[in-house]
Chain A
Amino acid sequence: MTSLPIDQMIDTENGLISREIFVSPEFHKQELEKLFTRAWLFVGHESQIAKPGDFFVSRMGDASVILCRDAQSKVHVFLNSCRHRGMKICRYEQGNTSLFVCPYHSWSYTTDGKLQGVPMFRALYDGTLDRSQWPLIEVPKLQIYKSTVWASWDPEAPDLLAYLGDAADHLDQVLDCRDGRPGGSEVIGVQKWILPSNWKFAAENFLGDTYHNPSHRSVDMIGIGPSGQKGHRRDNEYAKGQHVWIGFPAGHGVHSVHMPEQFDYQPGYAQYPEVEEYFRHAFHERQRRQGAKARIMPFTGNLFPNTSYHGRQPRGLCVWHPHSPTETEAWRFFLVDADAPAVVKDVLRRFYMRYSGPAGMTEQDDMENWLYATESSKGTIARRYPFNYQMSMGAYKVDDPVPGFVSTQITDQTPRNYYRVYARYMKGEAWDSLLGRDLAPLRQAAE
């Protein structure tokens, strides 16, 4: 079945997607070559590398990379591999250094990537090795957006904001301060764990798979939200809003809530009056500062291909790093406003831990689903039968009431849109196509 043309395996017109793309080693290899070498990938957050010499070891696709701030404060992302024999030059997760010294033969690199030290250089390499030609391998494209650092291995990759397109309006609501000031978040911790499942199950979940809500019944029954009430896993900040599931031409997808023109603060954090007061104040400030933009309240989203977010309760970014077709390394970066009072940060971090990640009472059930969905799709017979993505076919509007392909009901439109773009990467198409620029006439026609 892997020999079929990609458009037959990913048939978004009819809502049929082959299981092969979730289990086949061949697809995994193609993804690493054609998708992860081109798309913009989230690498880390500036709060993790605040000072010159600070570094944080991250991943891009199947590669270990070093995110670091050099002595002049410039931010870099390097492949974590010595130019001489490939040894991983940094095996600490985070820290501060003036040099990366390879443990193998002691070639050393400065934090701007230059090859500085080569033992016995004069005696062994004189006249042959031009050190300036052997710096650490650096990503050709790096951009920082509201403290988040993104990189691409494709020198032709478009500007990050062009890549994010209108999905940036939703990402903003994750990265901006709760009171509406732009940016201002910090990472308070990173969890890393191994999922025995295909990475796309996780990405899809965050595209806005609200349909899977019944699998979280147990946590809703017991109530783990900041108000401690039974029947909920978080506060309902979205009362009277219109839930929207939005796909974007470049493959991103979000689930947000579009609030009415006038909307009131919904009390939350009932267990913690001081925190409740903080968020009440932030709510009004946010409306004052952002005006109409504040009408977007984020739930979840996935920025193509593998950076997901939770917008409010909890709040953070996740990256799904592929190890193999059936194994993923999950990283979760937890966010708070850097200048939030200590009591607020404490309540949030406790909520994040009980909600998210492998110890999180909500997300444990996701991990169970992704494992067994992968496992039971591996079989010879199973692979002959595609997955069904036919929910809410055609039930979306273009740029109404916000930009994108907008559904007001739970939908497979966002994953259909995601896999349409995925197929374009797998066919090696040009950036105009990857950004969905051909979908622009469709948008104009609807206007």
Chain B
Amino acid sequence: MKKDLAYYELKQEIEEFLYQEADLLDARDFKNWLDLLAEDLVYFMPIRRNVKFGEHGERENTRQGEGISWFDEDKWTVTKRVEQILTGVHYAEEPLSRVAHLVTNVRLVDVRPSVEAPIEVTVSSRFLVHQNRVEYENHTFIGRRTDTLRRNGDSWLIARRELILEQNVLLAKNLSILF
């Protein structure tokens, strides 16, 4: 992709979108966050495995659409997660955790059909999600994120989110927060 003014303008717009999205989650504005998700959303976090050198491409990550991952779900299921938190009796999130999403290393990987008239954008980033819970519980989730965003008026919809969490055995007891 040519790094011209149009590219940087688009990148700026996408970054703003991602930061605003993070704000909604951290402010626990879950219903408005759901509105940013496309109806055909894919929300995927594979399990990462310890494999031999040379087998990483083939076997390191579990695959979307096959077997068991941490998350491999659609908008219905993600909506259920929000509904569950909003019952007020989902004890894994009651009282609510304190969460901060840090999004960095934002880079546009692909823009379709063109940077000048973008309809779909694939954006790569890193996340650091801090969760503090009740009194002493602290969890840090660090990883890579690849999002596919779709133009929606003057904003964007998240059509696909792939989260590569840099852990093997999950070191947190739960994945009860949204990424």
Contact = CB atoms under 8 A, between A and B. Distances in A.
Nearest to A329: B169
Contact of A222 (B87, B137, B168): B87
B51 A93 contact: yes
Contacts of B168: 93, 192
A189 B168 CA distance: 14
A358 B170 contact: yes
A358 B173 contact: yes
Interface in A236-286: none
A156 interface: no
Q: Chain A: interface residue count, which band?
A: 35 or more
A218 B87 contact: yes
Nearest to A193: B170
Contact of B173 (A196, A218, A361): A196
Interface string B105-131: 000000000000000000000000000
B47 interface: yes
A191 interface: yes
Interface string B73-108: 100010011011001111111000000000000000
Contacts of B154: none
Contact of A193 (B71, B81, B173): B173
Given A191-B47, A192-B168, A367 B173 contact: yes
A361 B76 CA distance: 13
A341 interface: no
Contacts of B91: 215, 218, 365, 368-369
B68 interface: yes
A396 interface: no
B49 A189 contact: no
Contacts of B71: 353, 359
A84 B178 CA distance: 47
B82 to A, nearest CB: 9
A313 B91 CA distance: 22
Nearest to B88: A218
B4 interface: no
B175 A358 contact: yes
B174 A358 contact: yes
Contacts of A196: 173
Contacts of A350: 72-73, 77
B90 to A, nearest CB: 4
Contact of B170 (A95, A192, A218, A361): A192
A219 interface: yes
B172 A219 contact: no
Contacts of B81: 361
Contacts of A367: 92, 173-174
Nearest to B175: A359
Interface string B153-179: 000000000000000111111111000
B62 interface: yes
B73 A371 contact: no
A222 B173 contact: no
Interface in A361-417: 361, 364-365, 367-369, 371-372
Interface in A307-349: 329, 334, 346, 349
Contact of B51 (A92, A329, A358, A364): A92
A425 interface: no
B49 A93 contact: yes
Given A94-B49, A224-B80, A190 B68 contact: yes
A299 B26 CA distance: 38
9 contacts: A92-B50, A92-B51, A346-B65, A349-B72, A358-B173, A358-B174, A359-B174, A364-B175, A364-B176
Given A349-B68, A353-B72, 12 more contacts: A92-B51, A94-B49, A188-B68, A191-B47, A194-B170, A197-B173, A218-B87, A222-B80, A353-B69, A361-B84, A365-B92, A368-B91
Interface of B: 45, 47, 49-52, 55, 59, 62, 65, 67-73, 77, 80-81, 83-84, 87-93, 134, 137, 168-176
